[in-house]
Amino acid sequence: MKRDILKVAGKSLKSRLIVGTGKYKNFSETAKAVKESGADMVTVAVRRVNILDKKKPLLTDYLNPKKIIYLPNTAGCFNSEEAVRTLRLAREMGGWKLVKLEVLGDKKTLYPNMLETIKSTKVLVKEGFKVMVYCTDDLILAKKLEDNGASAIMPLASPIGSGLGLQNKINISLIIKQSKVPVIIDAGIGTASDATIAMELGCDGVLINSAIANAKKPILMARAFKNAVISGRDSFLAGRMQKNYFASPSSPITGLI
Amino acid sequence: MAKIQLNGKKISIKSNFSLKDLLKKYNLFYKNVAIEHNGTIVPKINFKKKYLKNGDKVEVVHFIGGG
């Protein structure tokens, strides 16, 4: 079978599952879950070093950025200035130009502020960043992001960390149909079957954090997602049968005794 | 002696202290960090020659787990 590679911003990913590294019990569990998920790319956050605890372990000691693609995010940023500042620091840290932009608009729902998101996308693209953008499932705004140079459109399935799954399949399908850059579902996926549904719709990938990290057995759930994404993608490529209102026997009628 | 603000906390450092010295003091020199000095990002190659003065604000960031 032909290898099915996800190309995003010049990078080739073997896995269509991208995983977040937050909310785990410890870095050891993070590393195990990432390994089991088979993901080539992980999202990471940029934060102040805890200077009071010199011995605190670092994420980079557990997940080698030379072996797995780090996708720095702007989680917690509520305006363009904060988001751009964060990503400039991320770029300085390791030369990362591929970044995940998320500019939030509301503390309770963590819904994206699309005005600030578009503004930031413009600035970052101009500075040479490759920007994967967390966004609402509004197709006009998704198009606007693409027109402004976004490397991937990443609409939410439902609010971040909610686990509510895909709430607006129609909009996601419309975004997929119109987009020339990869469409990756970011946020809201609750369980493995949600990821399969997203992939069957034709999404290019899914980004999962809470659904794995908050599972009772995160490492097992990481494997479940790996398989779910492969299944959904294969199912999409294979093309589902047509739906019929009436039954159609699977066993032939001819030769019936 | 000089008083600076490091990641929002006031600390005292010796005079003629560079960013490199500061990182060494906190066991961070060989780690993957980025530094903002008075609001401007300092490239890694300049850590050695960037000296700190009284009232400076320094932010040292790194990657942590996130979604």
In this prediction, residue A53 carries a pLDDT of: 80
> Contacts by A1-5 with C-beta closer than 8 Å and gap 24+?
A4/A233, A4/A237
Q: Which residue of A has its CA nearest to B26?
A: A54
In this prediction, residue A1 carries a pLDDT of: 65
Q: Which residues does chain A have within 8 Å of residue B6's beta carbon, measured at their own beta carbons?
A: 51
What residues does A99 pair with on adjacent strands?
A131
Interface test with A, best of B7, B31, B62 (most A CBs within 10 A): B62
pTM of the entire predicted model: 0.91
Q: Which residues does chain A have within 8 Å of residue B7's beta carbon, measured at their own beta carbons?
A: 48-49, 51
Give mean pLDDT in consecutive 10-residue pieces for chain A, a chain of 257 residues: 85 96 94 97 93 82 92 95 95 90 95 97 97 97 97 97 95 97 97 98 97 97 98 96 91 89
In this prediction, residue A45 carries a pLDDT of: 95
**Which of A20, A60, A89 is nearest residue B66 as measured by Cβ atoms?**
A20
In this prediction, residue A96 carries a pLDDT of: 84
**Which of B8, B60, B66 is nearest residue A73 as measured by Cβ atoms?**
B66
User: Is the distance from CB of A213 to CB of A207 less than 8 angstroms?
Assistant: no
Judged by CB atoms closer than 8 Å, whether chains meet at A49 and B60 is answered as: yes
Q: Which residue of B has its CA nearest to A76?
A: B66
Q: Which residues does chain A have within 8 Å of residue B11's beta carbon, measured at their own beta carbons?
A: 51
In this prediction, residue B30 carries a pLDDT of: 74
Judged by CB atoms closer than 8 Å, whether chains meet at A51 and B31 is answered as: no
> Contacts by A142-145 with C-beta closer than 8 Å and gap 24+?
A142/A175, A142/A178, A142/A179, A143/A178, A143/A179, A144/A118, A145/A117, A145/A118, A145/A121
**Beta carbons within 8 Å of A244's beta carbon, 6+ residues apart:** none
Q: Which residue of B has its CA nearest to A46?
A: B63
CA distances from A210 to A161, A233, A251, B24 (A): 5, 21, 44, 35
In this prediction, residue B32 carries a pLDDT of: 85
pLDDT in tens, B47-60: 999 999 999 999 99
Mean pLDDT, rounded, of chain B? 90
Interface residues of B toward A, Cβ cutoff 8 Å, are: 6-9, 11, 26-28, 31-36, 41, 43-44, 59-67
In this prediction, residue A207 carries a pLDDT of: 98
pLDDT in tens, B34-44: 999 999 999 99
